[in-house]
């Protein structure tokens, strides 16, 4: 006896099979756009400035998540109290760095009206700014603006991307 599930399965499978055969046997002229703008060249994609900054942010976010997962494993594992304390301190430092990075990006946006990406690693601050041309005066001003937020001297680099 055939039940409802079997009927639905056979119906959907038949529909997929018919559409697949139709697609395979369809003349290739129908697949090509008929608006006359078709060229044999491959489509080109351009990388915009914001795309570069987004890619940097995603890469940094993935790196942060991996490190946080590793530290979380240490905290949940059978490590010593000292290892767990170090892992907790490292997690706290990573969270503070993330907050500092966002604060610096907002400061650059507020003062210079520029999109930027900031990464703090081992006490060094790397800034990537979205701007057409390199401007050493602007780079110096950005470094001074960032340095004013800290009491101790920081190693700051500024890079421009188009």
For 89-103, the pLDDT digits (tens) are 998 988 888 899 999
For 128-156, the pLDDT digits (tens) are 998 888 888 999 999 999 999 999 999 99
For 64-80, the pLDDT digits (tens) are 888 888 888 888 888 88
Q: Residue 37 pLDDT more than 60? A: no
- Pick from 138, 99, 103, 113: nearest CA to 159: 138
Query: Which residue in the block uniquely carries the two structure tokens 């507020």?
Result: 110
DSSP 8-state code for residue 78:
T
Q: Residue 39 pLDDT more than 90? A: no
Is the whole model's pTM more than 0.75, yes or no?
no
Q: Please name each of the domains of the chain with its CATH number.
A: 49-161 (1.10.287.4300)
């Amino acid at each position: 006896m055939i039940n409802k599930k079997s009927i639905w399965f056979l119906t959907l499978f038949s529909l997929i099979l018919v559409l697949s055969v139709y697609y395979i046997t369809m003349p290739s002229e129908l697949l090509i756009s008929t608006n006359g703008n078709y060229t044999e060249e491959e489509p080109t994609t351009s990388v915009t400035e914001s795309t570069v900054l987004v890619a940097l942010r995603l890469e940094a976010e993935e790196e942060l998540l991996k490190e946080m997962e590793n530290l979380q494993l240490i905290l949940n594992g059978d490590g010593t109290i000292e290892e767990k304390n170090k892992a907790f301190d490292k997690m706290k430092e990573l969270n503070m760095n993330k907050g500092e990075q966002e604060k610096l990006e907002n400061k650059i946006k507020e003062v210079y009206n520029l999109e930027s990406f900031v990464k703090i690693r081992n006490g060094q601050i790397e800034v990537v700014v979205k701007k057409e041309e390199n401007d050493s005066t602007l780079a110096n001003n950005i470094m001074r603006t960032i340095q004013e937020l800290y009491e101790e001297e920081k190693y700051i680099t500024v890079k421009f991307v188009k």
